[in-house]
Structure 1
Amino acid sequence: MSITKVFSKFPRTFWVANTIELFERWAWYGFFALFANYLTGSSDQGGLELTQTDKGYIMGVGTAILYFLPVITGAIADRLGYRKTLFISFIVYITAFLLFPHVDSFYGVFMVYLYLALGAALFKPVISATVAKVSTKETSSIAFGIFYMMVNIGAFIGPLLTLTTKSEPNNIFYISAFIISLNFILLYFFHEPKTEDKGPKGTIGQSIIHIFKNIGEVVKDYKFVAFLLIVAGFWTMYNQLFFTLPVFITQWVDTTPLYHWFSEHIPAISSMYGEAETQTMQAEFIVNSDALFIILFQIVISSIVMKWKALNAMMSGFVVCATGMALSLYTQNVYFTIFAIFIFAVGEMSSSPKISEYIGMIAPSDKKALYMGYSFIPVFLGNLFAGFIAGDLYGKWSDKAAIVKDFAQEKGFAISNELSQNEYFHSVAQKMNMSDHQLTDLLWNQYNPSKIWVLIYAVGIFSVVALFLYNRFILNKK
Structure 2
Amino acid sequence: MSVFRQFPRTFWVANAIELFERWAWYGFFMLFANYLTGSSDAGGLEFSQEQKGWLMGVGTGILYFLPVLTGAIADRYGYKKVLFVSFVIYISAFLLLPQFTTFTGVFLMFLYLALGAALFKPIVSATVAKTTTDATASIGFGIFYMMVNIGAFFGPLVTLLFKGTSSLIFYVSAGIVALNFILLLFYKEPGRVEKEKNTESLLETFACIFRNMGSILKDVKFIVFLLIVAGFWTMYNQLFFTLPVFISQWVDTSVLYDFFQAHIPFISRNYSPAPGVMDPEFVTNIDALYIILLQVVVSSVVMKMKPLRSMMSGFLVCAVGMSLTLAFQNVLFTMVAILIFSLGEMAGSPKITEYIGRIAPADKKALYMGYSFIPVFLGNVLAGIISGSVYQQMSDKVMIVRKYAVEKGFQVPDGLSNNAYFDEVARQSGMSPQGLTDFLWDTYHPSRIWLVLLAIGVGAALSLYIYDRVTSRLRS
Structure 1 position 105, deviation (Å)? 0.6
CA–CA distance in structure 1, aligned partners of residues 223 and 80 of structure 2: 29
Question: Distance in 2 between the 1:249 and 1:205 partners?
Answer: 48
User: How far apart, CA to CA, are the structure 2 residues paired with 1:95 and 1:275?
Assistant: 29
Matching residue's letter, 1:237:
M
SS of residue matched to 2:134 = coil
What number of residue pairs does the alignment pair up? 474
Q: Secondary structure at the match of 2:2?
A: helix
Distance 2:155 2:428 in 1: 40
Give the match for residue 257 of structure 2.
259
12, 15, 19: which is aligned to 2:12? 15
Per the TM alignment, residue 274 of structure 1 is displaced from its structure 2 partner at its CA by 1.4
Range moving further from structure 2, 315-324 or 262-271: 262-271
Cα contact 1:78–1:198 (8 A) shared by 2: no
1:416 to 400, 413, 416: 413
Q: Contact 1:293–1:342 at 8 Å: present in 2 too? A: yes
Q: In the alignment, does 2:281 pair up with 1:284?
A: yes
Q: Which residue of 2 aligns with 1:103?
A: 100
- What residue in structure 2 maps to residue 274 of structure 1? 272
User: TM-score by structure 2 length?
Assistant: 0.98
In the alignment, structure 1 residue 433 sits paired with structure 2 residue 430: yes
Q: Is residue 208 from structure 1 mapped to residue 184 from structure 2 by the alignment?
A: no
Amino acid at match of 2:242: T
Which segment is superposed worse, 295-304 or 258-267? 258-267
1:319 aligns with 2:321: no
> Which amino acid in structure 2 is aligned with residue 253 of structure 1?
V
- The whole-number CA distance in structure 2 between the counterparts of 1:375 and 1:475 is 21
Paired AA for residue 128 in structure 1: S
147-156 or 220-229, which moves further after superposition?
Answer: 220-229
- The equivalent of 2:299 in structure 1 is 302
> Structure 1 residue 329 and structure 2 residue 318: aligned?
no
Alignment-derived partner of residue 243 in structure 2: 245
1:234 to 208, 232, 235: 232
Post-superposition offset of 1:315: 0.3
Structure 2 unmatched ranges of 5 or more? none
SS at match of 1:280: coil
The equivalent residue for 1:470 is: 467
Report the Cα distance in structure 2 between the residues aligned to 1:101 and 1:288, rounded to whole angstroms: 23
Q: Name the amino acid aligned to 2:110.
A: Y
Give the residue type in structure 2 aligned to 1:254: D
What displacement does 1:100 show?
1.1
Specify the SS of the correspondent of 1:164.
helix
State the Cα deviation string for residues 395-441 of structure 1 (Å, max 9, x = none).
11100011100100000011123100000000000001110000000
Give the corresponding residue for 1:443.
Answer: 440
Structure 1 pair 132–260 and aligned structure 2 pair: CA distance change class (3 A):
same
Unaligned runs of 5+ in 1: none
Alignment counterpart, residue 378 of structure 2, candidates 365, 381, 384: 381
**Structure 1 residue 198, shift from structure 2 partner:** 8.5
- Report the AA paired with residue 225 of structure 1: I
Amino acid at match of 1:88: V
Which residue does 1:185 correspond to in 2? Answer: 182
> Secondary structure at 1:114's aligned position in 2?
helix
1:45 partnered with 2:51:
no
Counterparts of 1:168 and 1:116 in 2: how far apart (Å)?
20
How far did 1:204 drift?
Answer: 1.1
Aligned residue for 1:275, secondary structure, equals coil
Task: Supply the distance in 2 between the matched residues of 1:321 and 1:396 (Cα, whole angstroms).
Answer: 24
Residues 85-124 of structure 1: pairs in structure 2 closer than 5 A:
85-124=82-121
- What secondary structure, in the 3-state scheme, does the structure 2 residue paired with 1:28 have? helix
Report what 2:400 is aligned to.
403
SS at match of 1:417: coil
Question: What percentage of aligned pairs have identical amino acids?
Answer: 62
**1:475 Cα offset (Å):** 4.7
Aligned to 1:161: 158
Instruction: Tell me if structure 2 keeps the 8 A contact 1:23–1:179.
Output: yes
TM value normalised by structure 1: 0.98
Q: Is the 8 A contact 1:42 1:421 kept in 2?
A: yes
1:353-372 paired onto structure 2 within 5 Å: 353-372=350-369
